[in-house]
Amino acid sequence: MWRYLGRKTGLYALTFFVAVTVNWMVPRFMPGDPVRTMLGRASVSDPEVRASMEEHYAQLFGLDVPLWKQYLGFWGALFQGDLGTSVWLFPTPVTEVLLEAVPYTLALLLPAILLSWVAGNRFGAFAARSRWLDNTALPLSYLLTATPYMWLGVLLAWGLGVVAGWFPATGAYSFALTPAFTWQFISDALAHWVLPFLSLFLVAFGGWAIGMRNLIIYELEADYSSYLRALGAPRRLVRRYAFRNAMLPQITGLALQLGTIVAGALLTEVVFAYPGLGSLILEALNNRDYFLLQGAFLFIVIGVLIANLIVDVLYVVVDPRTRTQMQGGA
Partner 1 sequence: MSLDTAAVTGQGEGPSGRRGLDDLRFALRNPKLLAGGTVLLLLLLTAMVGPFFVSGDPNAYVGPQFAPPSGDHWFGTTSFGQDVFTQFVHGLRATFAVGALGGGIAGVLGMLVGFVGGYRGGLVDEVLNMVTNIVLVLPAMVVLIIAAAYLEARGLMVQGLFIGLTTWPWAARAIRAQTFSLAGREFVDLARLSGRRSWRIILREVAPNMYSYLVMSFILLFGGAVLIAAGLDFIGLGPTEGVSLGLMMHHSVTWGSLHLGTWWWFIPPGLGITAVVGSLYIANVGLDEVFNPRLREL
Task: Report the distance separating Cα 235 and Cα 246, nearest Å.
Answer: 16
| Smallest distance, partner 1 to C-beta of residue 135, A | 9
**Interface with partner 1 (CB under 8 A), residue from 2, 3, 6, 14:** 14
> Considering only 52-60, 95-103, 227-235, 265-273, which stretch makes contact with partner 1 by CB under 8 A?
265-273
Strand pairing partners for 93?
85
Q: Cα 310 vs. chain centroid, distance in angstroms?
A: 14
Helix (H, G, I), strand (E, B) or coil at 306: helix
Among 112, 195, 271, 280, binds partner 1 (CB under 8 A): 271
For partner 1, the closer of residues 51 and 285 by Cβ is: 285
| Residue among 146 and 237 whose Cβ is closer to partner 1 | 146
Q: Which is nearer to partner 1, 5 or 179 (CB)?
A: 5
> How near is the Cβ of 3 to partner 1 at its closest, in Å?
16
Torsion of CA 83, 84, 86, 87, to 10 degrees: -140
Determine if 62 is a binding residue for partner 1 (CB under 8 A).
Answer: no
Nearest approach, Cβ of 180 to partner 1 (angstroms)?
Answer: 28
Exactly one of 1, 5, 15, 198 binds partner 1 (CB under 8 A); that residue is 15
CA geometry: angle 300, 191, 152, nearest 5 deg: 60
What is the distance between the alpha carbons of residues 298 and 57, in angstroms, rounded to a whole number?
19
Q: Which stretch binds partner 1 (CB under 8 A): 86-94, 224-232, 235-243, 300-308?
A: 300-308
What SS3 class is residue 209? helix
Residues 93-152 touching partner 1, rule: CB under 8 A, are 129, 131, 138-139, 142-143, 145-151
CA distance 243 to 114: 17
- Pick the closest to residue 157 from 171, 143, 136 (CA basis): 171
Which member of 1, 5, 19, 115 binds partner 1 (CB under 8 A)?
Answer: 19
Of 44-52, 79-87, 92-100, 293-301: span binding partner 1 (CB under 8 A): 293-301
The DSSP call for residue 163 is I
Site mask for partner 1 (CB under 8 A), range 210-229, x = bound: xx--xx-xx--x--------
Nearer to partner 1 among residue 126 and residue 142 (C-beta): 142
Going 80 to 86 to 89 to 90, the CA torsion angle's sign is: positive
Per CB under 8 A, 281 contacts partner 1: yes
**Pick from 272, 256, 260: which is nearest to 198 by CA?**
272
> Cα 258 vs. chain centroid, distance in angstroms?
6
Distance CA 169, CA 191 (A): 9
Query: What residues are paired with 85 via a beta bridge?
Result: 93
Contacting partner 1 within 159-198 (CB under 8 A): 161-163, 169
Cα–Cα distance measured from residue 141 to residue 137, given in angstroms and rounded to the nearest whole number: 6
State which residue, 18 or 237, has the beta carbon closest to partner 1: 18
Quick one: which of 307, 290, 296, 305 has its CA closest to 102? 296
Nearer to partner 1, 185 or 322 (CB): 322
- Interface residue list for partner 1 (CB under 8 A): 11-12, 14-15, 18-19, 22-23, 26-27, 30-32, 34, 37, 129, 131, 138-139, 142-143, 145-151, 154-155, 157-158, 161-163, 169, 207, 210-211, 214-215, 217-218, 221, 249, 253, 256, 258-260, 262-263, 266-267, 270-271, 281-282, 284-286, 290, 293-294, 297, 300-301, 304-305, 308
